[in-house]
Amino acid sequence: MTYTFVKAQGGQIGNSLVEADKLELAKQLIEKAKSKGVKLLLPVDSTVADAFKNDAKARNEKSSSIPDGWMGLDIGTQAREDFAKVVESSQTVLWNGPMGVFEMPNFAKGTIRVAEAVVKATENGGFSLIGGGDSAAAVNNLGFGDKVSYVSTGGGALLEYMEGKELPGVKALE
C-alpha cells in the first residue's frame, strides 16, 4: 500500500508493488486527510532489494526515491522508529497488514519492531486488535499472540465490519 501512496504523490518507487488502479483514490485520501488535519504516516524510508528473495542485495533508501531495478520490501530504519513511537504512545491500535515481506528474515525487521511496539502499547494499558491472516501469523510466530488484546484472522472482513458494511456471516447469526 505504501508505494501506491508514494507514487500518487509523485515519488519514484522503482519496481515496488503498486496498485495503479488505486492511484487516484490514494490522492483523494491524502487530500481528505489534509483537509481534516489528520496526519497520514507513511514510511520516510524503505529497505529495498534488487530481487524478491531473502538473499538479495539490500539497502536503505528514501521511500520516494527508489531507483529502477530495486523494490521496497520493508519499512526502513527511520520508519521503524517513527512507527514504533506512534504505536507505543497509542491507547487503541488496529493493525492490519505487516510492514514488509516478513516471511523473509532480511525483510521482517519493520514487522518485528511494530509488533514490539504494539505489545508495549498493550502493556501500557492500551487496546490492541491485530486483524488479518498475515498480521496474525506474524504476531503469533513472534510469540506475541498472548501479549496483545485480540488477534483476528479475518482482516478484510474486520475492516468491512468497522466500515459499517453488513457481513453475511454476522447477518446469519442475527
| pLDDT bracket for residue 29 (50, 70, 90) | very high
Both 67 and 86 in one domain: the answer is: no
Answer yes or no: do 67 and 89 share one domain.
no
Residue entry with cell 457481513: 167
Q: How far apart are CA 137 and CA 115, in angstroms?
A: 11
Task: Look at the chain and report how many structural domains it folds into.
Answer: 2
Candidates 34, 13, 37; CA nearest to 23 is 13
Structural domain contains residue 172: no
Domain check: are 118 and 138 in the same one?
yes
Residue 152 lies in a domain: yes
Residues 9 and 71 in one domain: yes
The answer to whether the CB of 27 falls within 8 A of the CB of 40 is: no
Cell of 83: 512507527
Please give the torsion angle defined by the CA atoms of residues 115, 37, 159 and 2, in that order, rounded to the nearest 10 degrees.
Answer: -60
User: Phi/psi of residue 108, each to 5°?
Assistant: -105, -5
- Do 32 and 66 lie in a common domain? yes
Task: State pLDDT tens for residues 126-159.
Answer: 999 998 888 899 999 999 999 999 998 777 777 7
Question: Tens digit of pLDDT for each residue in 81-126?
Answer: 999 999 999 999 999 889 999 999 999 999 999 999 999 999 999 9
pLDDT at 152: 84
Q: What single-letter amino acid sits at 35?
A: S
Q: Does residue 52 sit within a domain?
A: yes
